[in-house]
């Protein structure tokens, strides 16, 4: 059995969050999407469940972290090229996100990222493992 991953993230506004991620080129599985939660398809076996805060609270007794004030998780997605990294960041900025850090170029690895409308950090990375320095 292959595993799937579902990253659950609290959000404030379903309509705005879906519009933001659609602007980046992501789609949602309508079978698992309603006014309380949206199943964003990242890859065949990778999903982000965007859950409005009242619904998110039903899954935990812990307080919800305000991702604009603190960091609860860093979501890192691999990309097929440096261009895809830059393109997704550009789309995120155009859709209202921010890029709190400058791109990082290590030659064999290139990364950049953005914060979505709720402050969740999405890191994007392209890497050529064949060009990586040998492990010491």
Domains and CATH numbers, the chain: 5-131 (3.10.180.10)
Per-residue pLDDT tens digits for 76-94 = 999 999 999 999 999 999 9
Residue 34, pLDDT > 80, answer yes
Residue 131, pLDDT > 90, answer no
Residue 132, pLDDT > 80, answer no
CA gap 7, 122 in Å, rounded: 12
DSSP 130: G
End-to-end CA distance of the chain: 35
């Amino acid at each position: 059995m292959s595993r799937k991953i579902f990253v659950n993230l609290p959000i404030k506004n379903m309509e705005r969050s879906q519009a933001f991620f659609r602007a980046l080129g992501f789609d949602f599985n309508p079978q698992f999407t309603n006014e309380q939660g949206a199943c964003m398809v990242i890859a065949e076996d990778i999903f982000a469940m965007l859950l409005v805060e009242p619904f998110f609270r039903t899954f935990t007794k812990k307080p919800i972290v305000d991702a604009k004030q603190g960091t609860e998780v860093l979501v890192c997605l691999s990309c097929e090229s440096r261009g895809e990294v830059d393109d997704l960041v550009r789309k995120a900025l155009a859709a209202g996100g921010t890029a709190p850090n400058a791109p990082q170029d290590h030659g064999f690895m290139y990364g950049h990222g953005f914060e979505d409308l709720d402050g969740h950090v999405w890191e994007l990375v392209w890497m050529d493992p064949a060009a990586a320095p040998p492990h010491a």
